[in-house]
Structure 1
Amino acid sequence: MKLVTGISFLVLCIINSAYAATENDKENNNRYIEVDNSIVTEHKVKILDKKITYKTTTGTQPVWDDKGKAIASLHYSYYQKKGVKDKAKRPLLISFNGGPGSASVWMHLAYTGPRVLNIDNEGYPVQPYGVQDNPFSVLDIADILYVNPVNTGFSRVLENEKGELPSKEKQKELFFGINADVKYLAQWINTFVSRHDLWLSPKFLIGESYGTTRVSGLALELQNNQWMYLNGVILVSPTDIGIKRDGPVKAANRLPYFTAAAWYHKALSNDLQNKDLEKLLPEVEAFTINKLIPAIAKGGFISADEKEKVISKMAYYSGLSEKFVAQNNLDIPASFFWKELLRDKGITIGRLDSRYLGIDKRDSGESPDYSAELTSWLHSFTPAINYYLREELNYKTDLKYNMFGSVHPWDRTRNKTGENLRQAMAQNPYLNVMIQSGYYDGATNYFDAKYTLWQLDPSGKMKDRLSFKGYRSGHMMYLRRADLKSSNQDLREFIESSLPKNGASAKYQ
């Protein structure tokens, strides 16, 4: 991809001078955020063998309080395909990552955007660090907006007229909680859509990890309080979104993931290793639902004979010893599994992506010393996003790009985001939902994601608008090149299939 010379330009408009960077800031060499600015660059990329010309707007846009004063500024990057004549037929995909406290960098520079990390085909870092074209990006069929919530990326809380930041408690009330997060982001999206004349465009939200909590809540918040109706919500490696998976369900649901990770590391018996993963997993899922959940539910009153049979089957499907399964009373914490599976080889496996290997100080213990996959990812993402924003998108600032920002303590009370998503779907016949999960994700495992999908609409009346896609990778399934291609294609097909035929009414027949 090459920048078109002579086209980059800066459009700076300060909305509230009391909150903007002052001359005093500049004179004293203070670091500051431009509250409301943007810079536009133009680029080319080949997607699915077709040349696409697009422009990127990256900048900041304020968050206002009820009195119209700027209290924060969010950094964003907005990709628009050139030559689109009718915005009403051009979908908009709004992308959030999670944490909470994580920047939008992950899906921005590794999944849907036109530029992705310079990594190997399995997702491991290579040097020199940098970015390359993404031949599978969905920019060919949708414009994309990447948003950094408060304190992530270059987004920041703003000082008041006295040069003071709100108290920690006030910041938590305004930004750092499940419901506060959804409320201010919905208002921010309304402003963005209005500024860019996107009210007629079909709209989609995509969130990863905690971002799935965020977009599930946003679906109803946008609909009921901003009167903005969506066509689709995509949940990538979802959290529980307020749909409880406690007790026997929580313990049992880990087993299919254990099987997948053990299969990847060739830790299962030969008869299981010889099966294709996607042929094997339904067998384990059926055992989990029909045998394991009832067995764990019986607790200490399960018969010795039944418990022995279940222990044997769990060991068979997990690659763990029967002794280890018995010692944990059928309830094996995921952290124990990451440490135990390859303990005899002196190696741990990753939490977010169990394909990754780590080395601990001691082989004994109940959990790994560190997350092998996360350290590997930060290798690639941190230099790439800083290079990309500053040098290719020409966004110049002395602010640090927060891969993970200060947002804690996070208010996790009153999490009804899953129910909110169900309500949004019920009220809006156009709204479809897709889940994407990696089989080797041990943090938000794929079977929990399936369970969430099943419980999202217990009535089953909307199941034709709910879908699941699985991939042979981890939390960020798109890091593996084969899955980058297939996951983008699944997303492309979901977006296209969620656009109603011209004139089709939003009503139940």
Structure 2
Amino acid sequence: MTRSLLASLLPLTGALALSAMPAFAAEPPGKSALPAPAAAPAADPQPKIDNAQIALLPADSVTHHTFSAPGGPSIGYTATAGTLILRDDKGAPSAKMFYVSYVADGQGARKRPISFFFNGGPGAGSAFLHLGAAGPVVLNFPTANPTDGANATLAPNPDSWLRFTDMVFIDAVGTGYSRPVDPDKAAKEFYGVKQDGSAFAQAIRLWIERNHRESSNKYLVGESYGGIRSIRTAYALETEQNILLSGIVMVSPAIEMGLLDNNVDPIGNAITLPSLAAGEMERRHTLTPQALDDAYHYAFGPYVSILAGAPPTGDVAKQFYGKIADMTGVPERVVTAQRGMLDVQSHDVRSRDGRLYSLYDDTLSIADPYPSGEDNADSPEPVLAGFGLAYGNAFTGYVGDTLGFHTELKYDLLNLGVNGAWDYKADGEPMARNMPELRKLLALNPSLHVFIAHGMFDLACPFAGTRWLVEHIPVGRDRIRLKLYPGGHMLYTRPDSRAALSHDVAALYAATP
């Protein structure tokens, strides 16, 4: 079963609801760690669009703030929370895409890098990267219990990428505050691999032209399905909008959807095994780079060779299944029942000793509501259906109280309707392939650099799949860097990994001519 990240959790999560974490409220001037909102300027005239949801989107809000960079000078910056109007081939409005931009004041914008951020899903808004990794404000989870989203708090982000780049966070159509003009046509116009890339490319061009940033070095930053989105957007920017990039940053990316299937494909199982092993090594305090490398080579050597043949029997089977159980911490009876091809979505694999482990971080767990065993549909996902939902409510409060963008429209952090309608086909193929586009981008643009960050314990988008793909790229491999961090899919929820990611990306940008 090939799956997207959200689709993979449909049997696990059921209906998702935003957490009840109280919205962040701005303190009186002079007392707040975060800047208070400034009055919004008059909006530019915009065409009237006959759509009740779009009518709830207010005029753009522009506010001014100061970021205190640790160990460096304070940075004054201008934040804009607003929308960009997409148009169809006839010039008629087709969607409004919501964005938040942060532009440093008085730093020579034409020479300062500009980064465009988006999340994935497909169906996820950009609040995850915004409040989790790079924005000037970060959502912190309790150190004693990182799965407690109800007690997460907003604070200034000491690792904000504003130190080295201006930033624009964009919600895909149908997510966040972005809305199509005609919902009945949205699936055909926007909910597909190629259409989505074209929509983002158009929005990015509009923002660049509106802000006169044609001379800036330009980067895309995508998380999860945002890896595919970044490749497709980069290709659309080049071929449809005449815009070349300096770099692409992918965080926990999906690149080839077919490689995320570990139910029947030996390669898919080999891709998952090193992340399962990493989680167990972390629990045993035996995790080292060499041990992780050994797990990778075992997965793509003896392990995949055995899976590709007839199922082992007798002492060979017992030895093989015992080794997999020892590597992963999954009970040997479960490994044997699944013939060594572990279904990481199954309750049997995720439930151990009364704890239910996350597909998105194999070191994070909650109390298992069904420790004696249950249908997978009643086995909740601790990250995406749990503490991760805190980003939605926190962002609503932040964008209203601090950035002055007030609307009664719900912020769609995770839109399962968009996810379910997604078209993965392209160029006549039943499943779009994205490595051919990345290969062409690297070949046609000798200045393009790609930085890929993966959490070691991520089972949704395992790092081994990306490593395997990169190892097989014939041109431009020297311009791709893969870096692993302690953490899961949302590796930035760990403060040390968030800081390391920011440092590494800053180094990438500094090395760009």
Q: TM-score, normalised by structure 1?
A: 0.86
Question: Any residues of structure 2 matched to 1:84-483 within 5 Å, and which?
Answer: 84-85=107-108, 87-121=109-143, 123-125=146-148, 129-158=152-181, 165-167=182-184, 170-241=185-256, 244=259, 247-264=265-282, 266=283, 273=284, 275-300=286-311, 306-336=316-346, 339-340=348-349, 342-343=351-352, 345-358=353-366, 359-365=368-374, 367=376, 369-378=379-388, 380-405=390-415, 406-407=417-418, 408-414=420-426, 415-455=432-472, 457=473, 459=474, 461-483=475-497
Q: Which runs of 5+ in 1 are unaligned?
A: 22-29, 159-164, 267-272, 501-509
Q: CA RMSD in A?
A: 2.3
Do the aligned residues in 2 keep the contact of 1:45 with 1:135 (CA within 8 Å)? no
Match of 1:346, as an amino acid? G
Counterpart amino acid of 2:47?
N
CA contact (8 A) 2:276 2:362 kept: no
Query: Any idea what the Cα deviations from partners look like across 1:101-133, whole Å, max 9, x if unmatched?
Result: 110000001101110114234744466654110
Contact preservation (8 Å) 2:149, 2:386: no
| One-letter code aligned to 1:66 | D
Letter in 1 for 2:337: Q
Q: Name 1:162's counterpart in structure 2.
A: none
Please identify, of 312-321 and 143-152, the stretch whose mean Cα deviation from structure 2 is larger. 312-321
Task: Report the more deviating stretch, 104-113 or 327-336.
Answer: 327-336
Say whether the 8 Å CA contact 1:36–1:62 is kept in structure 2: no
Q: Quick one: structure 1 residues 90 and 403, their matched pair in 2 at CA, closer, same or farther if it must change by over 3 Å?
A: same
**Larger Cα Rg: Structure 1 or Structure 2?**
1
Moved more, 437-446 or 136-145: 437-446
Distance 1:90 1:352 in 2: 34
Distance 1:248 1:366, change over 3 A: farther
In structure 2, the CA distance between the partners of 1:74 and 1:193, relative to structure 1 (3 Å rule), is same
Deviations 1:423-469 (A, max 9, x none): 111100000111111112121112223223223x1x2x322111111
Structure 1 stretch displaced more, 370-379 or 133-142: 370-379
CA distance in 2, matches of 1:115, 1:166: 33
In structure 2, give the amino acid aligned to 1:186.
A
Task: Tell me how far 1:395 sits from its aligned partner.
Answer: 0.4
Q: What is the rounded CA distance, in whole Å, between the counterparts of 1:166 and 1:252 in structure 2?
A: 41
Indicate conservation of the 8 Å contact 1:130/1:387, yes or no: no
Aligned to 1:26: none
For 2:492 and 2:454, the matched residues in 1 are separated by: 10
Asked whether the equivalents of residues 222 and 228 of structure 1 are also in contact (C-alpha less than 8 Å), the reply is yes
The amino acid of 1:185's aligned partner reads F
Q: Does 1:9 align with 2:51?
A: no
Take 1:426 and 1:182, find their aligned partners in 2: how far apart are those partners? 20
Determine the C-alpha separation between the residues in 1 that align with 2:422 and 2:280.
34
| Structure possessing the higher relative contact order (Cα contacts under 8 Å, 6 or more residues apart) | 2
- 1:339 and 1:366 in contact (8 A); partners too: no
Letter in 1 for 2:279: A
Q: How big is the shift at 1:373?
A: 1.8
The answer to whether the 8 A contact 1:339-1:349 is kept is: no
Q: Please report the TM-score for the alignment, with normalisation by the length of structure 2.
A: 0.85
Aligned-pair CA distance for 1:305: 5.7
Aligned partners of 1:242 and 1:418 also within 8 Å: no
Deviations 1:225-257, CA, capped at 9 Å, x for gaps:
111000111111111335646621112221111
Distance 1:75 1:175, change over 3 A: same
